Structure 1
Amino acid sequence: MPRLEKSKGTKRLKLDWTFVQRFCSIQKVLFPSWISQSALMFGTLLAVTLTEQLIIYQVGILPSHFYNVLADKDNSGFKSLVSTAMVLILFNSTLKSIDQYICNQMYVSWRRTLTESLHTSYFQGRVYYTLNVLREDIDNPDQRISQDAERLCKQMSSMASRLIVSPFTLAYYSYHCFYSTGWIGPVSIFGYFVIGTIANKILMGPIVSTLYEQEKLEGDFRFKHMQIRVNAESAAFYRAGKVEHMRTDRRLQALLQTQKSLINKELWLYIGVNTFDYLGGFLSYIIIAIPIFTGLYDGLTPGELSALISKNAFVCIYLINGFTQLIDLSTTLSDVAGYTHRIGELREVMDDILHKQCDYDPASGESYDFDSDFNVHADPVDTAFILDHLSYKAPYSDKLLVEDLSLKISQGTHLLVVGNTGTGKTSLLRVLNRLWEAHSGFVQMTTCFGPRGTLFLPQKPYLTDGTLREQLIYPLKDIYPASGSVDDDRIIQFLELAGVSSLLERTGGLDAKVDWNWYDVLSPGEMQRLCFARLFYLQPKYAVLDEATSALTEEAEGQLYRTCKQLGMTLVSLGHRSSLEKYHDVQLKLCGGGQWEVTKLKGGNGRKSPENAKSSLLKSWT
C-alpha cells in the first residue's frame, strides 16, 4: 500500500468552486427531497419571514403617519395609530419568536440528518478503521463528525432566516426606493453593496484556511487529553505527569497561537463590516437629500415633508440594512466555509475508501490445504480461510513480512501461528479480516462473520459501554436485535466457565447500569476472561485468537482453550507460549524476512517454505 502524503501545514482553503461543490453536496444530504422535513420547515420559515417583513414595513411607516396626526393635532387619529402600533408590534414579536423557533428546530433536524449520514459512511465496512489507522491525509474524523457538523448546522440555521427572505425584501424595497428617490437611490445602494462584497471577499480569504487549521489543532488538543484519560494508569506507573504536562501544553500553545492569528485576521474583517454598517446610515440621508435639494418636494407643507422624509428614510435605510445584513454575515460565512471544507473533505475521503474497498477483489487461485497434506481430516466439511501465494507487508513499508504463503484453514484443524515480534503474526490476522490489503496473491474468508461463522478476539480486549449483558452478547445486540429475553442461565454459566462470575455481584446484575469505565476497574486478566465469556456465548465455528491469554496463567489458559474446543470451535491462535501447542494440530511459524514454515504438531512431518518461498514448490504440496 503506497504511503499517503500527509497534510502539511495549513491547507489553502477558501471561498472557491471547491467550497461551492462541497456545500451543495451537503445541502443534498440536508434536503433529500421537496417533501422532506427540512424542506417543509424551510418553506414554513419562508412564509413566516415574509409575513414578518410585511408587518415590519407597516411598523416602519408608522412614524410618518404619526408626523401627520401630530402636525394636524388629530387626537382620534393618534389613538387609532397607537392601537394599530400595539397590535402590529405584538404580532411582529410573535412572528419573530416563531422564526427563531423554526431555526432552532432546523438546526436540530439538520444536525441529526448530517451526522447520521456521516455515521452511515463512517461505520460502513472498515472505513472507521482505515480513517483512524491507515490514512494520514485526514485529521480528527471524530471531531469533524461530532463537533464540526454541529457548528456548521448551528451557523447555517442562524443565517437561514436572513438569507431566505433577502431576495424578496431587496426586490420589494428596491422598488419603493426607486419610486421615492428615482434611479439614483437603488443604483447607489447596489454599487455600495458590490464594493462591500468585494472588500469582504478579500478579507475573508485568509480566515477560512486559518479556521480550518484551528479546528485541526482543537482536535489534536482534545485527543491528547483523551489519550491521557484512557491511559491514565499506565502513565501514572511511569510517573509521567511532568512530561505529559509539557506535551499537552505544547499542543495548547500551538492552538492558542493559531487562534490569535485568526483573531488578528478577523479584526480587519470586523473593521470592514462595521465601516460599511455606519457608512450605510450616512448614504441613506444623502439619497434622501438629493430630491429635497433639487426642489422636488418644494410644494409640501412642513408636516407633509416630515412625513415623506420619514417614510423615504425608512425605505432607504431598510434597503441598505438588507445589504449590510448580508455583509455582516461575512464572519458567519467564513465559519461556514471552514466547516464545509472539513466535512466535505471527510465525506470525499470516506467515499474514496468505500470505492476502493468495493473495487478490491483479488483473483482466485490455488491454495494450500494442510488437511490433505497432514491427513487430519480426509474430507473437510467446511473452510474458513483460503490463502494462495499470499504476500503482505505493513502499511507505509516496502519490506514484505510474509511472502508467497498458501494454505487452507478448515474446520476441525486447529492452527497455531508463532514467530518473533515483528514477523507479521497480528498483521496476518489483519489481512485475513481484510483490515489490510494483501500486497499480492489471494486471501478469502469463506465463512460469514458472526456466531455461525468466524469471530476474532483482538490482542487488546475491547469492552463497550453498557451493562454486563451488553458486554457478553457484543456485538450480537447491535447486529441482530433481540426478539425476546436473552438466556440468563447460559450467560451466567459462561461467566463461570470463563472465571468471571464475580462480575455479577460487582455490577449488581446482568442489566444493572454501569457508570464506571471497564478498563479502569478490570485487570488485564479479567478483561481477557470476559472476552472469552463473550466468545463462549456467541459460539462461532471458528475463533481467531490473538494473544488472547497473555495475561493469564497456563492453567487458566488450558481451561479456556478446552472449553472452546468442547463448544465445537476451530481455533486459530497467535501466541508465544509453548503450552499452546497441545491445543492445536498445525503450527505456522513466521521466520521473518518473508520466510515461514508449517509443522504438524500431532504426528507427521512438517513442511518449510523454501528460500524466497518459491511458488513452484508450494504447488506440489497441494
Structure 2
Amino acid sequence: MPRLEKPNGRGTKRPKLDWKFVQRFCSIQKVLFPSWTSQSVLMFGTLLAVTLTEQLIIYQVGVLPSHFYNVLADKDYSGFRSLVGTAMVLILLNSTLKSLDQYICNQMYVNWRQTLTESLHTAYFQGRVYYTLNVLREDIDNPDQRISQDAERLCKQMSTMASRLIVSPFTLAYYTYHCFYSTGWIGPVSIFCYFVIGTIANKILMGPIVSTLFEQEKLEGDFRFKHMQIRVNAESAAFYRAGKVEHMRTNRRLQALLETQKSLINKELLLYIGVNTFDYLGGFLSYIIIAIPIFTGIYDGLTPGELSALISKNAFVCIYLINGFTQLIDLSTTLSDVAGYTHRIGQLREVMDDILRKQCDYDPASGESYDFDSDFNVHGGPVDTAFILDHLSYKSPYSDELLVEDLSLKINQGTNLLVVGNTGTGKTSLLRVLNRLWEAHSGFVQMTTCFGPRGTLFLPQKPYLTDGTLREQVIYPLKDIYPESGSVDDDRIIQFLELAGVSNLLKRTGGLDERVDWNWYDVLSPGEMQRLCFARLFYLQPKYAVLDEATSALTEEAEAQLYRTCKQLGMTLVSLGHRSSLEKYHDVQLKLCGGGQWELTKLKGERRSHTSSESSL
C-alpha cells in the first residue's frame, strides 16, 4: 500500500465559488432528487405551487392601498367596507400560505437530511471505507462531523433558500412587466443594472468567506474531537493527573477555532455592509424611478386622488421588483455557508468513492474483484484451510520499512498458531493484512473461509462493545445483519456468559433485553470487556478464531479456562501474545524478529527461518 501523506496547507486548493463548487453541488442534488417521482420532487412542486399562489395574493394585498386612496378620496363608504372585507380575506389567505410555505420547507429539510445522510452512510459503511477514512487517510478531516453536522446544516440552509429561489424567476418576470408598463424602459433597466452591480460586489466579498468557513468547520470538528477524546479516556488521563495538560491543549484548539471565527466575522462585516447598503438604496431607487414620469409631465392630467393611487401602485411594483433582486443579494450570506458545506460534503463523497474504487481492485488470489462485505456468511461450509500466504511482504502505510518479508504458509484446521515478537515487529499488522484492512506490499494473502460463524472471526486487541442490550453485545454483529437472529436461545447465551465468567452481568443489566443508560466502557473493567468478547466468540462459534492479545487483562488461570473452552467448541486458534503460558495451547509458533525477518517453529519441534519454502500448518 502506498504511503499516505497529509497534504500541507500550501499544496491544498482552497475551496471557493468556482466550477468545482457547481459540480459538487449538482452531484449532491442528484442524491436529493434521484427521480422525477421522488418525494423531494413532489414536495418541491407543491412548494412552487404554494409560493406562486402566495405571490398572487401578495400582489393583491400590495395594490390594496391604491384602491383605499381612491375610495377615501371619493368618500365611498360602501367601497371602503368592501375593501376592508377583501383585505381581511387576503391577509388570512396570505398568512395561511406563508405558514404552509414554511411547513413544506421544514419537511423538505428533514427529508433532504435523511436522504443525504443515509447516502453518506451507505458509502461510509461499505467495505472498510470507515476504517480507511479514520485510520489510514489523512487528507480529509473529521468525517464524522461532515456526516452528522455539515450535512444537516447544508440541508437546513438550502431549505431556507428554497421558497425564495424557486419563485424568484416568476416574480421577477411578472413585476418586470408591470414595472415596464408603469414607468417605461428606464425602470426595469435601472433595477437590472442595480442588481448586476450588487451581484458583482457580493461575489467579490464572498470569495474569502467560503474558504474561511471551510477552515472553521474543520477546527470545530477538531475541538469537538478533543472533548470526545477526553470523555472516552477520562480515567486514564486522571491516573496521569493530566488535567492541567489537557486543559492547556483543549484551550489551544479553542483559541485556533476562535481566531478563525473572528477572521470570518471580520470578512463577513464587509459583506453585511454591502448587503445592507443595497437594501436601503433599493428603497430610494424606487422613488427615483417613480419620479421620472411624474416630473416629465406624463401624469399631469390626473386628479390628486388618482395620482396618489397611481403612485401607490407604481411604488409597490417597483419596490417589490427591487425587493426581489435584493432578496437574491441577501441570500449571498446563506450561499457562502452553502458553498462551504457543499465543498466539505462533496470532498468527503469524492474521497469515499476513491477508496471504494481502490478496494474493488483486482485480487490476484481469487482472480476476481474483491468485495469486503461479501465474506460475512453464517452458513459457511467445511473448509480445512483458513489462510494461504504466498511470499507475503507487508509494511505499515506510514513507513517504507518492511515489517515482514517473503512469508509463505498455510493455516490449516486443527493446527493452532501462536504469533510472538517484540513490540513493533508487525504482529497486529499481520492480522490487518489477513483481514484485508491493509494491502500487502508484495505477494498475496487469501482467506479461504467465509467471515463469520462457521468461518473465521477476529477478536481485536481493544475490545469493541456496541450500544444496546446485553443480548446485542453477545450476538454482535449478527443482529444488525440478520434481524431474525433476535429470537435466539436464551439458555445458550446464559451458558456462554457463565463459561466466559461474566454471568453477573445479567443481574447488573436487569436481563438480556433490558436497555442500559450507561456506557459499557465506563462500567466494565478491561478484564470484564475481554471476557464479554469471549462470550460473543463462544456464541458465534467460528471454525477459526484469530485472537490479538485477547487475554492480556486476565490472569493466567482465567486465560487457561477461556482457551480450553475455545478448543472444546472446536475452534482452531491463531493467537498473538507475549505470555509463554500461551504456548501450551498452540502447535506452531511464528516469531517476528523485526527488519522483515521471521522464524517458524513447531512447538517442541524444529525451527524454520524466513528463507524456508511454503509451510503448511
Query: What TM-score comes out, normalization by structure 2 length?
Result: 0.95
Task: Tell me the equivalent position of 2:194.
Answer: 192
Distance 1:26 1:372, change over 3 A: closer
User: Does the C-alpha gap of structure 1 residues 182 and 367 become closer, same or farther in structure 2, counting only changes over 3 Å?
Assistant: closer
Alpha-carbon deviation of 1:613?
A: 7.2
Q: Deviation at 1:220?
A: 0.2
SS of the aligned residue for 2:223 comes to helix
Give, in whole Å, the separation in 1 of the partners of 2:23 and 2:376.
Answer: 60
Q: 1:398 is paired with a residue of what secondary structure?
A: coil
| Contact kept in structure 2, 1:159 and 1:329, CA below 8 Å | yes
In structure 2, do the counterparts of structure 1 residues 19 and 541 end up closer, same or farther at CA, with 3 Å as the change threshold?
A: same
Distance 1:324-1:233 versus aligned 2 partners, 3 A rule: same
Change (3 A) 1:607 1:283: farther
Residues 607, 172 of structure 1: alpha-carbon distance in 2 compared, 3 angstrom cutoff:
farther
The residue that corresponds to 1:391 in the other structure is: 393
Q: Does the 8 Å CA contact 1:404/1:614 hold for their aligned counterparts?
A: no
**Alpha-carbon distance between aligned partners in 1 of 2:541 and 2:491, rounded to the nearest angstrom:** 16
Aligned-residue offset at 1:41: 0.3
The CA deviation at 1:608 is: 5.4
C-alpha change, 1:463 and 1:293, in structure 2 (3 Å) is: same
| TM superposition shift of 1:506 | 0.8
**Native 8 Å contact 1:4 1:135 kept in 2:** yes
Alpha-carbon spacing, 1:293–1:166, altered in 2? closer, same or farther (3 Å):
same
1:76 is displaced (CA, Å) by 0.2
Q: Judging changes above 3 Å, is the alpha-carbon distance between structure 1 residues 108 and 456 closer, same or farther for their aligned structure 2 residues?
A: same
Displacement of 1:12 after TM fit?
Answer: 1.4
Maintained 8 Å contact 1:362/1:441:
no
> CA 1:8–1:137 in 2, change beyond 3 Å: closer, same or farther?
farther
Q: Contact 1:372–1:378 (CA<8 Å) still a contact in 2? A: no
Could you tell me how far apart the structure 2 residues matched to 1:343 and 1:377 are?
A: 38
Distance in 2 separating the partners of 1:481 and 1:70 = 74
State the secondary structure of the residue aligned to 2:278.
helix
Gaps of 5+ in 2: none
Distance of aligned partners of 1:25 and 1:359 in 2 relative to their CA distance in 1, 3 Å threshold? same
How far apart are residue 600 of structure 1 and its match?
A: 1.1
- Cα–Cα, structure 1 residues 370 and 420, in superposed 2: closer, same or farther, change >3 Å? farther
Please give the per-residue CA displacement for 1:295-328, whole angstroms capped at 9, x wherever unaligned: 1111111111110110000000000000000000
Partner SS for 1:352: helix
Question: Matches of 2:551 and 2:177 in 1, distance apart?
Answer: 80
- Sort the Cα spacing of 1:369 and 1:430 in 2 relative to 1 into closer, same or farther, 3 A: closer
1:413 touches 1:570 (CA, 8 Å); kept in 2? yes
SS state at 1:613 partner: coil
| Cα offset, 1:415, TM superposition | 0.8
Q: 1:430 to 1:49 in 2, by over 3 A?
A: same
Query: What CA distance in whole angstroms lies between the structure 1 residues aligned with 2:374 and 2:589?
Result: 15
Distance 2:582 2:283 in 1: 85
Q: Distance in 1 between matches of 2:348 and 2:547?
A: 33
Q: CA deviation at 1:515?
A: 0.9
Is this contact kept in 1: 2:590–2:599, CA < 8 A? yes
Confirm or deny: 8 A CA contact 2:147 2:345 kept in the other structure. yes
- C-alpha distance in structure 2 between counterparts of 1:216 and 1:458, whole Å: 30
Q: CA, structure 1 residues 479+71, in 2 after alignment: closer, same or farther (shift >3 Å)?
A: same
Output the CA distance in 2 between the equivalents of 1:295 and 1:367: 81
User: SS state of the match for residue 575, structure 2?
Assistant: strand
The verdict on how the C-alpha distance between 1:184 and 1:439 changes in structure 2, with shifts beyond 3 A counting, is same
Q: Percent identity?
A: 92
CA shift, 1:516, in A, is 1.0
CA contact (8 A) 2:407 2:610 kept: no
Residue pair 1:404, 1:613 contacting (<8 A) in 2 also: no
Instruction: Please state whether the residue corresponding to 2:611 is helix, strand or coil.
Output: helix
Residue 614 (structure 1) aligns with: 613
Q: 1:252 to 1:107 in 2, by over 3 A?
A: same
Q: Report how far residue 482 of structure 1 moved.
A: 2.0
Number of aligned residue pairs: 615
Query: How far has the Cα of 1:615 moved from its partner?
Result: 8.6
Distance 1:430 1:183, change over 3 A: same
Structure 1 residue runs of 5 or longer lacking an equivalent are none
Inter-CA distance 366–391: structure 2 relative to 1 (3 Å threshold): farther
Greater than 4 Å deviation, 4+ residue runs? 7-11, 363-381, 606-618
Q: CA deviation at 1:500?
A: 0.5
Compute the displacement of 1:362 (Å): 3.2
Distance in 1 between the 2:10 and 2:483 partners? 44
CA, structure 1 residues 377+358, in 2 after alignment: closer, same or farther (shift >3 Å)? closer
Q: Offset at 1:464?
A: 0.6
Structure 1 range deviating more: 92-101 or 439-448: 439-448
| Structure 1 residue 5 displacement after superposition | 3.6
Are the structure 2 counterparts of residues 484 and 265 from structure 1 closer, same or farther at C-alpha, using a change threshold of 3 Å?
closer
Alpha-carbon distance between aligned partners in 2 of 1:374 and 1:71, rounded to the nearest angstrom: 84
Q: 1:514 to 1:589 in 2, by over 3 A?
A: same
Decide whether aligned partners of structure 1 residues 616 and 566 sit closer, same or farther in structure 2, where only a CA change above 3 A counts: closer
Q: Hey, what's the Cα distance between the residues in 2 that align with 1:139 and 1:184?
A: 52
Give the match's secondary structure for 1:254.
Answer: helix
Q: CA deviation at 1:2?
A: 2.8
1:413: how far off? 1.2
Equivalent pair of 1:367/1:387 in contact (CA under 8 Å): no
Report the counterpart of residue 3 of structure 1 in structure 2. 3
The secondary structure found in structure 1 opposite 2:407 is: strand
Shift of 1:412: 1.2
Structure-1-length-normalised TM-score: 0.95
Separation in structure 2 between the aligned mates of residue 614 and residue 545 of structure 1, nearest angstrom: 26
Structure 2 CA distance for partners of 1:155 and 1:290, relative to 1, 3 Å: same
**Alignment partner, residue 22 of structure 2:** 20
Are the aligned partners of 1:148 and 1:342 in contact in 2 as well (CA < 8 Å)?
A: yes
Question: 1:278 and 1:613, CA in 2 relative to 1: closer, same or farther beyond 3 A?
Answer: farther
Q: In 2, distance between residues paired with 1:5 and 1:209?
A: 22
Distance 1:166 1:364 in 2: 57
The answer (yes or no) to whether the contact 1:401–1:424 under 8 Å persists in 2 is yes
Tell me if structure 1 keeps the 8 A contact 2:375–2:451: no
Can you list the C-alpha shifts for 1:205-237, whole angstroms capped at 9, x where unaligned? Answer: 000000000000000000000000000000000
Q: Matched residues in 1 for 2:584 and 2:428: separation?
A: 21
Structure-1 residue corresponding to 2:417: 415
Give distance in 1, aligned partners of 2:322 and 2:187. 10
Change in Cα spacing, 1:611 to 1:457, as seen in structure 2 (3 Å) is: closer
Q: Structure 1 residues 514, 235: closer, same or farther in 2, change over 3 A?
A: same
1:379 Cα shift? Answer: 16
Q: 1:166 maps to which residue?
A: 168
Shift of 1:374: 30
